[in-house]
């Protein structure tokens, strides 16, 4: 099994306890980061959404926040597609979110047509994609000109603030223990802090987005930089690569 397959298998294994653990381990603050991300992007998009694609959708949480953001701005989302390569996660998403087409696929090979989405989101998923550049190129292909890519992620940092140090301590000492206790999967919750530390910095992801043909619209840290959101646009004049 290659690295990407092992990561997907791990998410399949932890899927039954994923939602519960997410809420416990983040103290529920991830809800605010999701809400802020969807509202900010919806405001920038500024009108009805014909097609929203949530990649690495997991149990479908972000879709609920997209719908809430649309309702709060008095607009609508016509069609929603949720994509994830882990069937265990998709099964839970199907039981939780209505009126969504769910597809089993990786971020690097979306089974969707060129220029067919207004919004593509990926929350806390891009760090699990081994070929990040391939995924960004794929988002660019599937987005319609003028469409937005929205990424929420825990980025690695070179210079650590006191908050970063406390967060690292929590991630490396508390999170693996609580995660292992509830999910009975020690490896998965050791992988999480390692995957954050081994992931790229905000600047590196910005460079990759630009190289993939995107214009950066907004890069915003949440909670003293623990989570970062990126909103990037496929230029209006741009055709799929």
- Work out whether 238 is an interface residue with ligand SAM (CB under 6 A): no
Instruction: State both tokens at 167.
Output: 């967060």
Closest by alpha carbon to 220, among 209, 210, 232, 211?
A: 232
- Count Cβ atoms within 10 A of the Cβ of residue 218 and give its class: 0-12 exposed, 13-18 middle, 19 or more buried: middle
Provide the 3-class DSSP secondary structure of residue 39: helix
Provide the 3-class DSSP secondary structure of residue 77: strand
- Work out whether 63 is an interface residue with ligand SAM (CB under 6 A): no
Nearer to ligand SAM by C-beta: 125 or 147? 125
Half-sphere exposure of 147 (CA within 13 A, CB side): 25
Give the range of 125-133, 142-150, 179-187, 231-239 binding ligand SAM by CB under 6 A. 125-133
Tell me which of 14, 49, 57, 175 binds ligand SAM, using CB under 6 A.
Answer: 57
CB of 162 to ligand SAM, least distance (A): 26
- Work out whether 226 is an interface residue with ligand SAM (CB under 6 A): no
Tell me which of 38, 70, 86, 117 binds ligand SAM, using CB under 6 A.
Answer: 86
Give the range of 57-65, 195-203, 214-222, 224-232 binding ligand SAM by CB under 6 A. 57-65
Show the binding pattern over residues 95-114: x = contacts ligand SAM (CB under 6 A), - = does not.
-----------xx-------
Residues 6+ apart with CB under 8 A from 77: 48, 49, 52, 66, 67, 70
Q: Residue 29 and residue 223: Cα distance in Å, rounded?
A: 9
Tell me which of 49, 70, 89, 188 binds ligand SAM, using CB under 6 A.
Answer: 89
**Residue ranges in contact with ligand SAM by CB under 6 A:** 4, 7-8, 11, 55-58, 61-62, 84-86, 89, 106-107, 123-125, 128-129
């Amino acid at each position: 099994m290659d690295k990407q397959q092992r990561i997907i298998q791990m998410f399949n294994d932890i899927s039954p306890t994923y939602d519960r653990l997410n809420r416990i381990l983040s103290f529920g603050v991830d809800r605010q980061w999701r809400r802020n991300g969807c509202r900010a992007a919806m405001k920038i998009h500024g009108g009805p959404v014909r097609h929203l694609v949530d990649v690495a959708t997991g149990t479908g949480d972000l879709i609920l926040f997209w719908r809430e953001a649309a309702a709060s701005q008095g607009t609508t989302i016509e069609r929603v597609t949720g994509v994830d390569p882990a069937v265990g996660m998709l099964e839970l998403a199907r039981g939780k979110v209505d009126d969504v087409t769910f597809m089993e696929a990786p971020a690097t090979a979306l089974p969707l047509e060129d220029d067919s989405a207004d919004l593509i989101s990926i929350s806390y998923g891009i760090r699990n994609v081994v070929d990040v550049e391939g995924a960004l190129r794929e988002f660019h292909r599937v987005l319609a000109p003028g469409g937005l890519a929205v990424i929420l992620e825990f980025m690695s940092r070179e210079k650590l603030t006191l908050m970063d140090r406390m967060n690292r301590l929590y991630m490396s000492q508390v999170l693996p223990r609580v995660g292992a206790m509830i999910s009975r999967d020690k490896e998965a919750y050791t992988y999480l802090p390692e995957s954050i530390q081994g992931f790229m910095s905000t600047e590196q992801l910005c460079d990759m987005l630009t190289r993939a043909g995107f214009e950066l619209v907004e890069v915003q840290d949440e909670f003293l930089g623990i989570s970062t959101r990126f909103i990037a646009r496929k230029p209006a004049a741009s055709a799929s690569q």
